[in-house]
Structure formats: C-alpha cells, structure tokens
Amino acid sequence: MQQQNLWTVLSMLVLATAVACGGGGDAPAATTAPAAPAFDPSTAGNVSGMVMFDGELPAGEELMMNSDPVCAMTATDTMSSTFVGSDGHLGNVFVYVKEGLEGQSFPAATGSVELDQEGCRYTPHVMGIRVGQTLTITNSDMTLHNIHASPSANDEFNMGQPIQGMTFDRSFDQPEIMVPFKCDVHGWMNSYIGVLDHPYFAITGTDGMFDISTLPPGDYVLEAWHESLGTQTQNVTVATGQTAEVSFTFAQ
C-alpha cells in the first residue's frame, strides 16, 4: 500500500515538473484561451486605401417591395445596395488579405457578428466574419423572413424567422469568399459575408475608404471584391510601423 502511494506521489511530481517546465510544446492548447499571436504586435504595419469607380456610378435600382405590405409600409430605404458611394468612391467592397498569411495563426475572434433584417433589408449588406465566430441573425421586422445561405465550401442552411425579435446563431467552418445570403420571401433581400481564418479584412464605406491594421510585416496580395464588379488584386509590402497605401479602381 505504501509502495502504491509512493508511485502516486512520484507520478504527480513528474507531471507537475513537466507542466512547470514544459512550455507546452506538443500539448494541445486550451480551447477557451485565445491563441497567442504569431508575431510581435509592436512590429506591425498597416494598410489603408480607397476603392474608386471609374466613371459615373450606375444609378441605384429602386426595390419594389409591394409583394409584402409590411415591407412597403415600414421600409425607409428602398434603393438597392449594389452600387453605393459618392464622388467616384465605391462602397460595400470587401477588401482582405488573400495571400501572405499562410501558416500563421491568430487569436480566435471574440464576440459575435450581427446580421439584422430591418426594413426588409439586410444590415449590413456586406460583412466579414472569422471561421468559427458566431453569426447572430435577427429579425427586427414585423413580417417573416427566411434566411437562406448558399455557400460552396460551408454547409448550406435555410431557416425561418416568422416572429419579430427572433434570433439564431450560426458559424462557418471554412474560409469562403463570399457566402451569399438571401431571403426567398422577399427576393430583393440579399447580403454577402466573407469568411476568413484571419482578422485582416475591411469593408469600404460610401467614401470608398478602408483600413486594415496590425498586419505582420511582409509581402501580401490584397483582394477587393464587389458583388457585381468582380474582384481585383494588388501586391503590397507592409513594413514595421508603416502604413502602406493601396487603391483599387473598378469599372463596368
């Protein structure tokens, strides 16, 4: 009995020593703790820039919401979100680091991202999310919606939200540019979500501006995606403490 106790104590001592001195080389990381950044943030740089449209921006299409009286009555914005911007600037463009971050890991995203259905529109129209991050979808309307995501790399889903205030959570397992969302009840409602395994993305506002901050120094390929105009890529070099300027110009 005494010998058994001795082995138990010795085993615990060995285990405690391994934990204290190990540094966790091959041990799996705790799932609840955020992963350590793969680089020293003090060495980071930034990318900022602008997305332009060459020529006059196509006129916004007015959305016909007559098929649902609630939408027709409550909608405050009935213009399409496909082409937004002013003075040659293009909004609702998803800009992200496409290449250059391979093999690096980043802290898991905290908190959820929200997609709202309000005024029979998706808000926001274009957004980004991290792999595994919670997407909270809410119906703020007094009418019913279905939320139909049709990704190619992730699982397709189609859920109904018949009651105002309903929410549900989803997440995506794989990176994907872009996941289209639509409401089949209200054919004009659509939205796009970019799913990435890193946090380096931005969506342009109506001023066409975007900022991607705290990037590790290095050479990258940046891609700008627009739902109607397609994609453009550019190479960019990020240096410590510097902000690299990039601009994209789309045309029809």
Partner 1 sequence: MTWLHLYARFLCAATLLLIAAGGMVTSTGSGLSVPDWPNSYGYFMFSFPLSSMVGGIFYEHGHRLIASSVGVLTIGMTVWLWRVDPRRWMRRLGVAALAAVILQGLLGGITVLYFLPTAVSVSHAGLAEIFFCLTVCLALFTSSGWRRSGTTGRHTPVTLHSTDLTAMALATGLPALVFAQILVGATMRHTGAGLAIPDFPLVFGGVVPNEWTFPIAVHYTHRLGAGMTALVIFATVRQIAIHHRDRPDLLRPAGLLTVLVLVQIGLGGWTVLSGRAPVINTAHVATGALVLGTSLLLALHVNRHRFPDAHPSMAYPPPPVAIPAKRGAAV
Q: Tokens 């993305």 belong to which residue?
A: 201
Report how far apart, in Å, the C-alpha atoms of 189 and of each of 118, 152, 155, 176 are: 10, 20, 20, 21
Distance CA 228, CA 233 (A): 16
Q: Tokens 């995203």 belong to which residue?
A: 109
Least distance from partner 1 to the Cβ atom of residue 144, Å: 6
**For partner 1, the closer CB: 95 or 137:** 137
Position 221 contacts partner 1 (CB under 8 A) = no
Position 165 contacts partner 1 (CB under 8 A) = no
Position 148 contacts partner 1 (CB under 8 A) = yes
Position 186 contacts partner 1 (CB under 8 A) = yes
Return the residue of 55, 162, 165, 241 that touches partner 1, per CB under 8 A: 162
Which residues on adjacent β-strands are paired with residue 242?
A: none
Return the residue of 50, 144, 202, 203 that touches partner 1, per CB under 8 A: 144
Q: Which residues, in sequence order, are CB contacts of 89 under 8 Å at separation 6+?
A: 50, 51, 52, 53, 204, 206, 207, 208, 209
- Contact region with partner 1 (CB under 8 A), list: 8-16, 27-35, 50-58, 144-152: 144-152
Give 2: exposed, middle or buried? Use CB within 10 Å, 0-12, 13-18, 19+.
exposed
Distance CA 52, CA 20 (A): 55
Strand order in the sheet with 126-130: 126-130, 190-196, 176-182, 145-149, 157-161
Return the residue of 87, 159, 206, 247 that touches partner 1, per CB under 8 A: 159
Return the residue of 54, 77, 99, 184 that touches partner 1, per CB under 8 A: 184
Position 146 contacts partner 1 (CB under 8 A) = yes
Least distance from partner 1 to the Cβ atom of residue 76, Å: 19
Position 70 contacts partner 1 (CB under 8 A) = yes
Position 185 contacts partner 1 (CB under 8 A) = yes
Position 143 contacts partner 1 (CB under 8 A) = yes
Least distance from partner 1 to the Cβ atom of residue 117, Å: 13
Report how far apart, in Å, the C-alpha atoms of 57 and of each of 25, 210, 218, 223 are: 54, 19, 34, 21
Which residues on adjacent β-strands are paired with residue 89?
A: 52
Return the residue of 60, 68, 214, 231 that touches partner 1, per CB under 8 A: 68
Return the residue of 156, 173, 219, 245 that touches partner 1, per CB under 8 A: 156
**For partner 1, the closer CB: 179 or 238:** 179
Chain positions contacting partner 1, by CB under 8 A: 67-71, 143-144, 146, 148, 150, 156, 158-160, 162, 183-187
